[in-house]
Structure 1
Amino acid sequence: MPTTEQTEELISIGDIAKKLGLTTRTLRYWEEVNIIEASPRSEGGNRFYTPYTVRRMRFILKLKELGLTIKEMQDLYVAYGNAKRTEIMIPRLIEILDVHINKVDEKMERLASLRKDIVDYRLKMIEKLHSSES
């Protein structure tokens, strides 16, 4: 297995895709849209990733689960990448998460209202059924 100059073990694109449950195309896309660093290549042109980049991939998957867009992930990458300082990235991440919390709250309110409408309509249908049986 290839290593970096600091003897960090590199992980092939195929291995990391399997480990994370992603496709290699997804990882190449993430490189294209600049949410992960371009990977070093072997002499045969195969992509390999550092453990640091693999940690970033796991972080991206968590952000994706939270509903962040590619654009928001790009913004975070830029904020962090400018100085490699978490004190820059974390406040930006908090802002983005606050927006998503508000969106989830709004969706929950709409769903609660929809649920109430469905329950009310169901009750009306039950009443109608019982009145037609009488």
Structure 2
Amino acid sequence: MDFEKDGDEVTPIGELAIKFGLTTRTIRYWEEVGILESVQRSDGATRGFTPYYVRRIKFIMKLKELGLTIKEMQDLYAAYGEAKLTERMIPRLVEILDEHIDKIDEKMAKLASLRKDIVSYRQRMTGRMAELAEEAK
């Protein structure tokens, strides 16, 4: 499957960086770690991205927002494979998201416990402050 069709508009990296609020260095880093590709422009000098790869950048940004690591994105891209089959990637993405949900649930439980401890300690301290104020009278 070829995602670079003749006639596809190629957007330069600088324009994409501005459009998405990224740095060109971030986009280049995503290329270096293998979760994104660019196409060479006909002038051979400027790297750019076809609409397909622009959608991939949006997808990477969403995965990042969801808390996925670069390693997890690399795993997803490997699952996506050379054939660019979404049906290979989706089960792995669901697994990764389930792992993140579990981690969030654990953190929320720990935070709820911590909040309970802090409230309890605060109540003891306000009680102690009241006792000290009464003793000072």
Could you state the TM-score of these two structures normalised by the residue count of structure 1?
0.92
The letter of the residue matching 1:122 is R
Distance in 1, Cα, partners of 2:104 & 2:54: 29
Deviation at 1:85, TM superposition (A): 1.2
Is 2:82 the counterpart of 1:112?
no
Q: Compute the RMSD of aligned alpha carbons.
A: 1.4
Is 2:22 the counterpart of 1:26?
no
Q: How does 1:52-131 map to 2 (within 5 A)?
A: 52-131=52-131
The letter of the residue matching 1:88 is R
**Structure 2 match to 1:10:** 10
SS in structure 2 at match of 1:6:
coil
SS in structure 2 at match of 1:48:
strand
Tell me the percent identity.
63
Q: Unaligned stretches of 5+ in structure 2?
A: none
Aligned length: 131
Distance in 1, Cα, partners of 2:42 & 2:130: 74
The letter of the residue matching 2:116 is K
Cα pair distance change 1:123/1:18, threshold 3 Å: same
The letter of the residue matching 2:96 is I
Deviation at 1:81, TM superposition (A): 2.6
Deviation at 1:42, TM superposition (A): 4.6
Cα pair distance change 1:53/1:128, threshold 3 Å: same
Checking the alignment, whether the CA contact within 8 Å between 1:42 and 1:48 is kept in structure 2 is no
SS in structure 2 at match of 1:77:
helix
**Structure 1 match to 2:46:** 46
Checking the alignment, whether the CA contact within 8 Å between 2:10 and 2:41 is kept in structure 1 is no
Cα pair distance change 1:116/1:42, threshold 3 Å: farther
Q: Unaligned stretches of 5+ in structure 1?
A: none
Checking the alignment, whether the CA contact within 8 Å between 2:10 and 2:50 is kept in structure 1 is yes
Q: Which one has the largest radius of gyration? A: 2
Checking the alignment, whether the CA contact within 8 Å between 2:38 and 2:53 is kept in structure 1 is no
Deviation at 1:44, TM superposition (A): 5.4
